[in-house]
Each structure stands twice: as C-alpha cells, then as structure tokens.
C-alpha cells in the first residue's frame, strides 16, 4: 500500500506549460480517476507520477519519497497503457515473467508470481499462447498480468480500455474494479470517458488545460458541479 502526494506540480515542454500547478493527495488504496478533454495533460501528469517524465516544479512523492529520487527499478509502480505493447514473440507466460526476469528474481519465485497472477486474471488456460492468438480483452488482461506480477504498490492506467469495443469495455471496467477490491493497490486511472469515471472512481479529478477544475466523489460532482465546464463534462455522453 502507498499514498501518493502530488503538490503544486508543473510541467513545461520548452516554453509551453502543460501542467500548471496541480495538487492532489491520494490515499492508500484509493482509486482515483483523472478525467478531462484530450490534451489537458492527463498522460503527462500520470507519467510524472510514474517517474517517466521530468518534473518542472513541485513534488510527486510516493509514501513520502520523491519519485525522481528513486531509481526506476526500485519504483513500486506498474503502468498499463491503451496500446497493450505485449512482446509479440513471447508467450503469455513469458510476457508476464519478463519484468521479474529483468529484476533477477529466482525461477521458483517467478513461476509462483505468474501462476498467481494468471489465476487472478483468468489467464491460466492461456499461458502458452502468443499475443496474436488472443482476443483484445485477453490481451488487455495479459497487460494487467504483467503489471500485477510485481505486486506493485501503485497502479497507473492510461486509457486502458479505449481500444476495446463497447461491450468488452463494460466487462473490463468490472474486472478492473474487482481486481482493485482484491489487491487494494493505490490506483490512478486516466480516462476521457465520463461513465468509466462515474462508475469506477472513489475520487474524480476533473482537469482542463493543465489545471484542476474540481475534485470530488462521483456523487459530489454529479450533485454539485463546481462550474459549467464540470457540469457539461460530467453530464454529456462519452
Ligand atoms: P492528455 O493525455 O490529457 O490528452 P497529454 O498529457 O498527452 O494530454 O498532453 C498535454 C499537452 O502537452 C498537449 O498539449 C500535448 O501536445 C503536450 N505534450 C505532451 N507531450 C509532449 C512532449 N513530449 N513535447 C511537447 N509537448 C508535449
Ligand atoms: Mg493521454
């Protein structure tokens, strides 16, 4: 378990400031959704939490440790993207084992972790398949499997369902939530889909042009939108 503290964070690409002083406290085990229009800075903020993007100002800390001071291999973070980026020539098993191999885990430990993750995600029967032999939903599950084998303290998702069809999206929402109930890992989940946000989040952060418009529970945002932007954004269909 881990808390994530985002304090007065800014990000500049050259002269262009794309994150303009964002502060959000995220509690242990919380499921937080970042939502906002395309280009508002969601992915950039998520990448800064992951330590994948230099922070121009302010701080991001996980359990009190500044992310940019922790070497990449020691960061207890897993990130799941919209493009699954599975290794095409590796089986499901090897895809899931790979990050543990990189960390020089022992063979028995790797096997145990992969077996457990496969059970959690319903992938046991598929361990010997290659990515091209899987459906979109199964691939997305393998991408999550790769993330959970390391037993990360923090999960980061960047629009993980946007390549799936509508029916599968609904099913995967439920699966991701169930996974969160089981693992209780602190989760930051980026989407531009209001329904995803309203149905999955403990707390929603509504962003626009690099700043926060409102933070609240789904019910708070629904009942008391801070302004017209939030009202329209939350109220309009995806
Ligand atoms: P979102 O994920 O909300 O769609 P992004 O975080 O990807 O938004 O992008 C926020 C802004 O930062 C956009 O204007 C985008 O063009 C810009 N941006 C993102 N990455 C880079 C980069 N590597 N160099 C320059 N500008 C970037
Ligand atoms: Mg993005």
Of the ranges 17-21, 139-143, 179-183, the best mean pLDDT one: 17-21
Of the ranges 37-41, 63-67, 71-75, the best mean pLDDT one: 37-41
pLDDT greater at residue 76 or residue 204: 204
CA-based nearest residue to 33, from 154, 201, 148, 238: 201
Q: Please write the tens of the pLDDT for every residue from 185-197.
A: 999 999 989 999 9
Mean pLDDT (whole number) for 109-136: 94
Q: Which residues line ligand 1 (CB under 6 A)?
A: 13, 18, 36, 38-44
For residue 56, the SS3 value is coil
The predicted pLDDT at position 132 comes to 95
ipTM of the complex, rounded to two decimals = 0.98
Nearest-CA residue for ligand 1 atom 7 is 43
Mean pLDDT (whole number) for 53-76: 89
Which ligand neighbours the alpha carbon of 82 most closely? 2
Cα separations in angstroms, 29 against 35, 179, 199 = 19, 12, 17
Of the ranges 34-48, 100-114, 222-236, the best mean pLDDT one: 34-48
CA of 151 to the centre of ligand 2 (A): 25
The predicted pLDDT at position 83 comes to 67
Cβ contacts of 59 within 8 Å, gap of 6 or more: 5, 6, 7, 8, 9, 66
pTM for the model stands at 0.91
Which ligand neighbours the alpha carbon of 11 most closely? 1
Bridge partners (DSSP) listed for residue 48: none
The predicted pLDDT at position 237 comes to 54
């Amino acid at each position: 378990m881990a808390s994530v503290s985002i304090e007065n964070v800014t990000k500049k690409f050259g002269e262009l400031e794309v994150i303009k002083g964002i502060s959000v406290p995220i509690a242990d085990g919380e499921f937080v959704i970042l939502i906002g229009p395309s280009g508002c800075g969601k992915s950039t903020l998520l990448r800064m939490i992951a330590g994948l993007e230099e922070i121009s100002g302010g701080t991001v800390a996980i359990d009190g440790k500044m992310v940019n001071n922790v070497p990449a291999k020691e960061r207890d973070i897993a990130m799941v993207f919209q493009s699954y980026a599975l290794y095409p020539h590796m089986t499901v098993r090897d895809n899931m084992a790979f990050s543990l191999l990189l960390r020089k885990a022992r063979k028995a430990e790797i096997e145990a972790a992969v077996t457990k993750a496969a059970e959690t995600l319903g992938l046991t029967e598929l361990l010997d398949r290659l990515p091209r032999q899987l459906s979109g939903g199964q691939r997305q599950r393998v991408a999550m499997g790769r993330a959970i084998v390391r037993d990360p303290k923090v999960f980061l998702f960047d629009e993980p369902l946007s390549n799936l069809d509508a029916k599968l999206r609904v099913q995967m929402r439920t699966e991701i939530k169930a996974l969160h109930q089981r693992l209780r890992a602190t989760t930051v989940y980026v989407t531009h889909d209001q329904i995803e946000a309203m149905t999955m989040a403990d707390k929603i952060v509504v962003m626009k042009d690099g700043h926060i418009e409102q933070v609240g529970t789904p019910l708070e945002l629904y009942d008391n939108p801070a302004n017209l932007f939030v009202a329209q954004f939350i109220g309009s269909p995806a």
